[in-house]
Amino acid sequence: MSESISRRPGRPLGGQLVVDREHVLDAAERVIRRDGAGSSLEAVAVEAGVTKPIVYDRVGGRADLADALAERLSDRMVLATRTALAGETLSQTGLTRFIEANLRTVADHRELFLYVTGGSTEQTALGRLSLAERSTTPLTKTLAVWRSGIQQDPGVAEAWAFGIVGMLQMVSQWWITQEDRSAEEVAGQISELLWNGLPGRA
């Protein structure tokens, strides 16, 4: 849906920005949803009805784009899990619902999820963690508070948060290539592991 086939060089009439940052990010999501996780910045620019340097001006390079999209996806996940839980107290069934909501959000944004977790092959150490860190920061806090509440050492919170997020990411990746398994089933199994531990409750 690019409105103008081509624009003249020079500042456009009307004294307004032709697109803002959000428009570019929306276009990026459309392109990724359509063309897959290997989409190029050029394609994003075309979809936004604009040229590449504008994309660089609005959102930055490829790593910045991935980061911005990671933030959006993370927000949507937080929203989905929050409404799924809706003030429920922390329990195994609550955890199951949390994981299931997570899985469903990933399924709704397959290609975007792959794009964001795919990384940029460059300073990927930081890049790959972009989505993870956004998810872990609040999770770390929640875990620390909760562990303190049940008289347990809250010092494990950060490591646990990264571990849980990694588990969810890998399970999501595996699950979206195996559509025979239901989200409920997988969520229940992972919840079982995370709540009761490897040996299970006696």
Partner DNA sequence: GCGAAAAGTTACCAGCAGTAAGTAACGGGG
Partner DNA sequence: CCCCGTTACTTACTGCTGGTAACTTTTCGC
Nearer to DNA, 2 or 152 (CB): 2
Residue 188: half-sphere exposure toward Cβ, Cα within 13 Å: 5
Beta-carbon count within 10 A of 35 CB:
14
Smaller CB separation from DNA, 50 or 187: 50
Using the CB atoms, write b or e for 143-154: b if 16+ within 10 Å: bbeebeeeeeeb
Q: Is 165 in the site for its own copies (CB under 8 A)?
A: yes
Residue 196 contact among DNA, its own copies, none, beta carbon within 5 to 8 Å by kind: its own copies
DSSP tag of 19: S
Q: Are 84 and 183 in contact (CB under 8 A)?
A: no
Q: Is 75 exposed, middle or buried (0-12, 13-18, 19+ CB in 10 A)?
A: exposed
Task: Name the binder of 165 from its own copies, DNA, none, CB < 5-8 A by kind.
Answer: its own copies
**Beta carbon nearer to DNA, 18 or 85:** 18
Does residue 69 interact with its own copies by CB under 8 A?
no
Cα–Cα distance measured from residue 34 to residue 23, given in angstroms and rounded to the nearest whole number: 17
Give the range of 14-22, 68-76, 80-88, 186-194 binding its own copies by CB under 8 A. Answer: 186-194
Binding to its own copies by residue 199, rule CB under 8 A? Answer: yes
Judged by the rule CB under 8 A, the positions of this chain that interact with its own copies are 37-38, 95, 114, 117-122, 124-126, 128-129, 132, 150, 152, 155-156, 159-160, 162-171, 173-174, 176-177, 186, 189-190, 192-201
